[in-house]
Structure 1
Amino acid sequence: MVRSWGVKDEVPKLLVDAHLIYQNTMAVVDVCRKAGLEVFGVTKGVGGLPTVARAMLAGGVVGIADSRLANLERLRSSGIGAPLMLLRSPTMGEISRVAALVDILLCSSLPTINALSKAAIKQRREVQAILMVEMGDRREGIMPDELGDVLGTAEKLPGIRVRGLGTNLACLAGAMPTASGMTYLGDLANELGPGKAAPWTISAGNSSALGLIYEGKWPNLSLPAHLRIGESILLGWDVMTKKPLPGTSQAAFRLFAEVIEAARKPSLPGGPTGCNAFDEEIQPLDRGTHRRAILALGRQDLGSGKVMPIDPGIEVVGMTSDHTVLAIDEAKSAIRPGTQLEFRLDYGGLLAAMTSPYVGKIIKD
């Protein structure tokens, strides 16, 4: 079944193939299970799209995770009953909604946990909290030497059950997961977790941790553990190297955009130059006078994301807010106004396209 929504004329448009996402999920879940890990499927890259969440669940993930509370609410209201994990600490204004909905929360702020405790009591619910540990990426996380004090307070709060420890890497500073780092996180959990009413778990990272598994370097952890995987399932690649993962497809998402101009033009600007509209100083490649095409697609649709033409003879020259300029000298077929061209996206482009009201979406179940 094919469904669509978005702009009336559906150009640009994003094709989402749920079956390929299902296949990618099975491939990733299989290799993680062999390493002793469960997988939570992350849907923030697709705006919490229920079709994608269902494909991930059918492929073997044990729950769905997202950084946006509104996305989790959308998933639950669509009938998804699997455990829901909130990846980002909520704002104080979201606390009551979190207490009513979320099953597992990744959190690094004691005031947030305290507020959640009060809201959970009112909702007559228990929320599981995984305390995030700072391990080098310098984003969220409790410093290891402060972890004992935070835990000592959090585990006494009613309505809260500390479920274990977690970490996040390769997002802000690009700190890479290592076997020694994962072992250290496991040792921390073993040190702090014994004697709890229920076994602890380790939320051991995101898609960036998969490289250790595929390379056979994942350590043997004594506690149950899971990974939070989004990008590698959606795009079928290793997020650190951008190389395809075994058994996955890189065609689950395809962006189509229409050409609005095609002409021969000089490749170098005329006259003095300064910064462009985005305060960038561009050093264009001298191609001489060559064939160029302009797409009705820009940063307002894709943010800072990138598009990669399916036709290897087409090259992206640059992008402004509403236009994308292509070099088309080596294109395999004739390109003229009205031609629709096909592209792959990186993760930033996927995030932006899925949330842009200007990009139509076509869902292939």
Structure 2
Amino acid sequence: MSFPCIKINLRKISNNARLINDRCALKGISVVAVTKSILADIEIVKILKKSGINIFGDSRLENLVKLRKYFGYGQELVLLRTPMISECEKMLDVCNTSMQTELSTIKTISDICERKNKKHNIILMVEMDDKREGISARRTIPFFDEIFKKYPRIKIKGLATNARCISKRRPRINSIENLIEIKKRISSRYGYAIPVVSGGNSSIWKYIEDNSIPEGINEVRIGEAIFIGNETSGYEKINGTFSDSFILEAEVIERKIKKGFVYKFIIALGIQDVPCKHLIIQNPCYDIIAQSSDHTVIGLKKTYLDGLVKNKMDGLILPEPEVGDRIIFGLDYFGLMFSMTSPFIKKIYIK
């Protein structure tokens, strides 16, 4: 076996995906599985599909190209980030739907659609709580008006909002309700029924679970809750999910001994692979103390180290990593993203 490696437990991922999809379905909510953190890995996507998830979304067109090649043209794929002008032509060949926030981009897409004699679905992102992308709530209806009147080849399929991607502010019910209110005003003024209202991401899970999600939300975009088992409002574990579907293993290449104890060792893993703040060491006696581009230094926790220096370690049995031993880490969401993206970390699938 080669190291470092990420062990991917497909059974645990399936459990998480099925649980989340089933709970959402009970409330009439469709799940868009967000595949960016797994680099649209086909082995994992197969499991998500078998677990009942029918829509896949990603912010990078390259990942969606991979999914389109695997699924063919019967699968609904959504671009979750406003496309670059330079990729609009290719995007139209790959995606059924795209998130949109800029009129100039929508005009470009419309022009390409005219030339290719095709139509395209868009979802308007409305900025509520996150201070990332989106049209302001007060500008959404004028924005809709311009698209509706000028671009007949563009179908406005939905409204969406985001939370907890940049801002630390938790999603608020009234913000989600505002999104539904915008939909109602558009329906009243234009006689146009917007079919999709995408209420957010893993950060609104608690509202789904406690049944306080406003009626009218019929779609959510979920990544971290499936892959890590966390909701992202308070970063609490979701009941019934696994948080260890992905485990990273790295090899010890050097160790230091003091008074007969291994007090420090180095593993062949660095910032170029995964920044250490996204690693969760599973050995309770050690902490990550430093990292460079290609080395991670791990040392005894201060409590044990102080005891070692003061000769108070009698009777304490510590693990003694040898050169060649493996060190095991859990991953947070960004650790998963780095690990799946790094070409130096091998993937091992556990079925």
Matching of residues 102-141 of structure 1 within 5 Å:
102-141=95-134
Q: Is the 8 A contact 2:14 2:48 kept in 1?
A: yes
Partner of residue 86, structure 1: 79
Residue 164 of structure 2 corresponds to residue 178 of structure 1: no
Q: CA deviation at 1:124?
A: 2.9
Percent identity over paired residues = 30
Q: Is the 8 A contact 2:186 2:192 kept in 1?
A: no
Change (3 A) 1:120 1:232: same
Could you tell me whether the CA contact under 8 Å between 1:41 and 1:64 is conserved in 2? yes
1:325 aligned to which of 278, 289, 297? 297
Offset at residue 198 of structure 1 (A):
5.2
Q: For residues 316 and 215 of structure 1, do their structure 2 counterparts lie closer, same or farther at Cα, with a shift above 3 Å needed?
A: farther
- 1:278 corresponds in structure 2 to none
Question: Within the alignment, does 1:314 sit opposite 2:286 as a pair?
Answer: yes
- Which of 153, 160, 165 aligns to 2:159? It is 165
What is the CA–CA distance in structure 1 between the aligned matches of 2:22 and 2:295, rounded to whole Å? 41
Of 318, 330, 342, the match for 1:356? 342
User: In the aligned structure 1, how far is the partner of 2:113 from the partner of 2:197?
Assistant: 23
Alignment of 1:4-23 (within 5 A): 10-23=2-15
Distance 2:55 2:265 in 1: 44
The Cα shift of 1:90 comes to 0.8
Alignment pair present for 1:63 and 2:35: no
- SS of residue paired to 1:301: coil
* Contact in 2 for aligned 1:261/1:337 (Cα 8 Å): yes
Is the aligned partner of 1:246 residue 2:232? no
Q: Is the 8 A contact 2:8 2:245 kept in 1?
A: yes
Is the CA contact (8 Å cut-off) linking 1:237 and 1:245 kept in structure 2?
yes
- Residue identity in the other structure for 1:320: S
State the partner residue of 1:53: 45
Q: Any idea what the Cα deviations from partners look like across 1:83-126, whole Å, max 9, x if unmatched?
A: 00000011111000111111111111111111111112333332
2:290–2:296 CA contact under 8 A, matched in 1: yes
Structure with the higher helix share, 1 or 2:
2
Could you tell me which residue of structure 1 aligns to residue 269 of structure 2? 297
CA distance in 2, matches of 1:132, 1:87: 10
| 209-218 vs 55-64, greater mean Cα deviation | 209-218
Residue 204 of structure 2 contacts residue 233 of structure 2 at CA under 8 Å; is this kept in 1? no
- Match of 1:100, SS? helix
Kept in 2: contact 1:305–1:352 (CA 8 A): no
CA contact (8 A) 2:130 2:163 kept: yes
Partner of residue 215, structure 2: 220
C-alpha distance in 2 between matches for 1:75 and 1:253? 21
User: 1:246-285 to 2 correspondence within 5 Å?
Assistant: 246-264=239-257
The count of aligned residue pairs is: 333
In structure 1, the gaps of 5 or more residues are: 1-8, 267-288
Gaps of 5+ in 2: 305-316
Q: 1 CA distance for matches of 2:276 and 2:252?
A: 21
Distance 1:153 1:12, change over 3 A: same
For the pair 1:142 / 2:128, whether they are aligned, the reply is no
Contact 2:203 2:233 in 1 (8 A): yes
Mapped partners of 1:53, 1:258: distance in 2? 29
Name the CA distance, whole Å, in 2 between partners of 1:175 and 1:45.
22
SS in 2 for 1:298: coil
The residue type equivalent to 2:332 in the other structure is D
> What SS does structure 2 have at the residue aligned with 1:232?
helix
User: 1:30/1:158 Cα in 2 relative to 1: closer, same or farther (>3 Å)?
Assistant: same
* Alpha-carbon distance in 2 for matches of 1:313, 1:264: 15
Decide whether the 8 Å contact of 2:79 with 2:99 is kept in 1. yes
Aligned counterparts of 1:254 and 1:323: Cα–Cα separation in 2: 19
Distance 2:70 2:333 in 1: 25
**AA aligned opposite 2:8:** V
CA distance in 2, matches of 1:291, 1:75: 46
2:140 matches 1:154: no
CA contact (8 A) 1:303 1:348 kept: no
Matched AA of 1:48:
A
On the 8 A contact 1:85/1:105 being kept in 2, the answer is yes
Aligned to 1:209: 204
TM-score (norm. length: structure 2): 0.89
The structure-2 alpha-carbon separation of the partners of 1:173 and 1:364, relative to structure 1 and needing over 3 Å to count, comes to: same
Q: Is contact 2:9–2:350 with CA below 8 Å preserved after alignment? A: yes
The 2-side partners of 1:10 and 1:207 are apart by 33
